[in-house]
Amino acid sequence: MIGPNKNIRAARYGMTIDVDRCSGCGACMVACAVENNVPPANPKATDRTGLTWIRVYKIDNGLPYPETRSAFVPVLCQHCGNETPCVHVCPQQAVEVDPATGVVGEMPQRCLGCRYCVAACPYHARYFNWWDPKWPAGMEKTLNPDVTPRMRGVVEKCNFCHGRWHAAKQQAAADGKPDTEPVEYTPACAEACPTKAIRFGDLNDPASEPAQAAKNGESFRLLEKLDTGSKIYYRSKREWVRQIANAPHPAASGKESFHG
């Protein structure tokens, strides 16, 4: 595991997702897949065996028409900061939290494919490569050279666009900025969101949007009571949407639809 370095001013990258602004267009999912070389779905893949690092769920308030209201909730790795559930279970240290960024990283090259981390994640944000990754002829030329494609039999998940973070670090070095300072960058999903529902920044920086949003009374984190220290803050003015922070209830969930 990476040990903390006292000379580095650690960042704690996080996100705020405004559920009221999300239109469910899926641009974040597409941008993420392109940026991170997530292969096109195998023809036999289902919604439970497909690969995506960010998944947009459609929820509704469970009331009949005309009171029906719906919303879209993008769910990605929550980059838990408190006893990260997936880090503790991995038998061969293929998952780790970078103390310099707070990002929960996955090392596919070391992954055994035991899927214990998949079982441990309460947000279902980890995906297993059930098939060999395949791109249609010619499409492999569009692969992002900064990100390694993963092989069959390993787990993968959101890493807040690690390739972009690296590029930002290199740019900072080229600009003569100290290596010990956090860098500013934007992950592909936040960049692609047409309604600016997804905002990304350093939660340690009080001026950053996610840090400010975290203090907002309309903000919440999924499954807050599990105390996983999630770095993804959701916000909504609607009370029924804020209820999704809680555990599921059989009676209510039966009415809710599901989309990904």
The amino acid at 149: P
Encoded one letter per residue, x for contact with another protein by CB under 8 A and - for no contact, window 186-205 reads: --------------------
DSSP 39: P
Run of H or E residues at 16: strand 13-18
Which stretch in 4-12, 16-24, 168-176, 218-226 sits in contact with another protein by CB under 8 A?
218-226
Rule CB under 8 A: choose which of 24, 99, 122, 229 binds another protein: 122
Q: Which is nearer to another protein, 183 or 244 (CB)?
A: 244
Rule CB under 8 A: choose which of 4, 136, 138, 250 binds another protein: 250
Q: Which is nearer to another protein, 93 or 170 (CB)?
A: 93
Rule CB under 8 A: choose which of 5, 23, 63, 132 binds another protein: 132
Q: Which is nearer to another protein, 50 or 99 (CB)?
A: 50
Q: Is 225 in the site for another protein (CB under 8 A)?
A: yes
| Number of residues assigned to the chain | 260
User: In sequence order, what DSSP letters do the residues of 177-240 get, joined into one string?
Assistant: --TTS------HHHHH-TT--EEEEETTSTTSHHHHHHHSTTEE-TTGGG-----EEEE-S-HH
* CA–CA dist 148, 142 (Å, integer): 13
CA distances from 137 to 22, 36, 140, 151 (A): 34, 18, 7, 18
Binding interface with another protein (CB under 8 A): 42, 44, 46, 48-50, 57, 59, 73, 75, 83, 85, 88-94, 110-116, 118-124, 126-132, 152-155, 222-226, 228, 243-253, 256, 258
